[in-house]
Chains A and B, each alone.
Chain A
């Protein structure tokens, strides 16, 4: 039978088999930076945790990523997709990931879902910022 859901096969796949997610106690994932966005009152919340390593050329990149999501299928799938898109990217590059890039990766999302459930990139942005703040020597601006 044809997929009767309002979602694409890719969304369905990521919802049913999410990548890089954190099960249970997320503190077991040792993060260099983390960020959380959304609000359970609105129905969606994402937590992103990243580990950062430095390549030989000095570039910092996301060597590992973990996430948790409270939300609908679209929220879970889009956070999963974001984690795949961000992994192994340089921080600078990963910070540029947009809602549109996530949506395109998933083969599209219903219009009303795009606006409310694609928030993972904002959590990632916060996680990168959190990493950079932690790394900066005290007193530096």
Chain B
């Protein structure tokens, strides 16, 4: 969309021409997103982003049973803790995979004791810190199985914010009830996301007011952001981003992981094999994550860390605490994110800069490691 056109767009809810133009833009975006997910257009609700979409789903199940994995994004965990009754956290393995037998045991108990209970299971498609791909297909099979057994009010939500555009997502094949996505994770604008809502599933709007989004999300629709979202989604379709990530980025990530482990033997790999193509997380003993992050920043390498020192609330990463229950491993964790524009030469630069930084931090650290005598 050209900038000159932006002055012509009006409120999509208005019947005049500028409003109509806006509405077309909005509905066109919805169509593109629906097509990408193999959903119906009526099953897509625009939101202000992933956090709002997650909050919306949890809010539908307020005062009901909510089972959420311990490594969900805070925009799932915080509302779940507040609104779930009860709020049940699903434990995860060291690799971040949900404990399926824990979940089945819980469902079995509900089946025996309270089969009419309204239950939401919320498990993310891919974890944003360590990249773990959760077994969503197997999970939806379990949900179907228990529905058939008698848990008629059992529903599945997945936060696919991190996975969208990186791996193929077909909501019909996956048999998901609710799904969250966000534009900025695929190169679109910040400030818009969407909630997939399978037809026939319970719904209650989070934001009350006007009748926008078919009475499901009040507030003037933002056609400009929707156009940005559409454009980013269309780009992932045009370039077949999922295929590119798999074929081009996964080998780079594997190469990086192998060489970090080789050059820094004490390092702890936090990302499992079954993970997103673009996320690699390590913990470097005795080298605190914020220090590593800032040293790398000087080399124009941007990474993130699960260290408490780098977080606003001074708490270590809840994800790494859930997988390893070890604050030191969390403090020392560093996440490397690769993009479609990442080249082998970028990886080589990182592999050149990282080991001396870790070695230096380990050498001035009060904590001993096997790498530093």
Q: How far does the alpha carbon of A53 sit from the alpha carbon of B87 in the complex, in Å?
A: 62
Which residues of A sit under 8 angstroms from B308, Cβ to Cβ?
42-43
- Stretch of A67-75, A85-93, A94-102, A132-140 lying at the B interface: A67-75
**Known: A24-B363, A43-B288. Contact between A72 and B373, CB under 8 A?**
no
Q: How far does the alpha carbon of A85 sit from the alpha carbon of B341 in the complex, in Å?
A: 47
A36, A40, A42, A47 — most chain B CB neighbours (10 Å): A40
Contact B314 A116 (CB under 8 A): yes
Q: How far does the alpha carbon of A36 sit from the alpha carbon of B367 in the complex, in Å?
A: 12
Contact A70 B327 (CB under 8 A): no
Which residues of B sit under 8 angstroms from A75, Cβ to Cβ?
288, 309
Main secondary structure of the interface of A (DSSP, over half): mixed
Asked if A131 is an interface residue, CB under 8 A from chain B, the answer is: no
**Known: A23-B364, A40-B367, A117-B309. Contact between A71 and B373, CB under 8 A?**
no
Asked if B307 is an interface residue, CB under 8 A from chain A, the answer is: yes
Which residues of B sit under 8 angstroms from A16, Cβ to Cβ?
295, 298
Within A38-89, the residues touching B (CB, 8 Å) are: 38, 40-47, 68-76
CB distance from B332 to the nearest CB of A (A): 9
Asked if A22 is an interface residue, CB under 8 A from chain B, the answer is: yes
CB distance from A65 to the nearest CB of B (A): 14
Contact A68 B364 (CB under 8 A): yes
Contact A72 B363 (CB under 8 A): no
Which residues of A sit under 8 angstroms from B295, Cβ to Cβ?
16
**Known: A71-B309, A112-B314. Contact between A43 and B364, CB under 8 A?**
no
Which residues of A sit under 8 angstroms from B291, Cβ to Cβ?
15, 71-73, 76
Count CB-based A-B contacts (< 8 Å): 72
Q: How far does the alpha carbon of A31 sit from the alpha carbon of B257 in the complex, in Å?
A: 41
Contact A40 B364 (CB under 8 A): no
Which B residue's beta carbon lies closest to that of A18? B364
Which residues of A sit under 8 angstroms from B367, Cβ to Cβ?
40, 45, 70
Asked if B259 is an interface residue, CB under 8 A from chain A, the answer is: no
Which residues of B sit under 8 angstroms from A112, Cβ to Cβ?
314
Which A residue's beta carbon lies closest to that of B290? A72
Asked if B131 is an interface residue, CB under 8 A from chain A, the answer is: no
Within A1-30, the residues touching B (CB, 8 Å) are: 5, 15-16, 18, 21-25
| Contact partner, B328, options A22, A23, A41, A73, Cβ 8 Å | A41
Asked if B77 is an interface residue, CB under 8 A from chain A, the answer is: no
Contact A40 B331 (CB under 8 A): yes
Q: How far does the alpha carbon of A141 sit from the alpha carbon of B273 in the complex, in Å?
A: 61
Chain B, interface size: which category? 20 to 34
Q: How far does the alpha carbon of A22 sit from the alpha carbon of B363 in the complex, in Å?
A: 8
How many A residues face the partner with a CB closer than 8 A? 32
Q: How far does the alpha carbon of A44 sit from the alpha carbon of B367 in the complex, in Å?
A: 10
CB distance from B180 to the nearest CB of A (A): 30
Which residues of B sit under 8 angstroms from A22, Cβ to Cβ?
364
Asked if B294 is an interface residue, CB under 8 A from chain A, the answer is: yes
Q: How far does the alpha carbon of A16 sit from the alpha carbon of B291 in the complex, in Å?
A: 10
Which residues of B sit under 8 angstroms from A40, Cβ to Cβ?
327-328, 331, 366-367
**Known: A24-B373, A40-B328. Contact between A73 and B364, CB under 8 A?**
no
Which A residue's beta carbon lies closest to that of B309? A72
| Contact partner, B327, options A41, A45, A47, Cβ 8 Å | A41
Q: How far does the alpha carbon of A140 sit from the alpha carbon of B298 in the complex, in Å?
A: 53
Q: How far does the alpha carbon of A69 sit from the alpha carbon of B309 in the complex, in Å?
A: 14
| Contact partner, B294, options A23, A41, A73, Cβ 8 Å | A73
Within A92-126, the residues touching B (CB, 8 Å) are: 112-113, 116-117
Encode contact with A along B58-100: 1 for CB under 8 Å, 0 otherwise: 0000000000000000000000000000000000000000000
**Known: A43-B308, A43-B309, A116-B314. Contact between A69 and B327, CB under 8 A?**
no
CB distance from A122 to the nearest CB of B (A): 14
CB distance from A11 to the nearest CB of B (A): 10
Please list the 10 inter-chain residue pairs (A to B) with the smallest Cβ-Cβ separation, ordered nearest first. Answer: A72-B309, A72-B290, A70-B365, A45-B366, A41-B327, A43-B331, A70-B366, A68-B366, A23-B363, A47-B366
Q: Which residues of A contact B (CB under 8 A)?
A: 5, 15-16, 18, 21-25, 36, 38, 40-47, 68-76, 112-113, 116-117
What are 23 A-B pairs with beta-carbon distances under 8 A? A5-B297, A16-B298, A23-B364, A40-B331, A41-B327, A41-B328, A42-B308, A43-B308, A43-B309, A46-B366, A47-B366, A68-B364, A68-B365, A68-B366, A69-B366, A70-B366, A71-B309, A72-B288, A72-B307, A73-B294, A75-B288, A76-B364, A113-B309
Q: A40-B328, A41-B328, A72-B290 are in contact. List 13 more A-B contacts (CB 8 A).
A: A5-B294, A16-B295, A18-B364, A24-B363, A40-B367, A43-B309, A43-B327, A45-B366, A68-B366, A70-B367, A72-B291, A73-B294, A113-B309
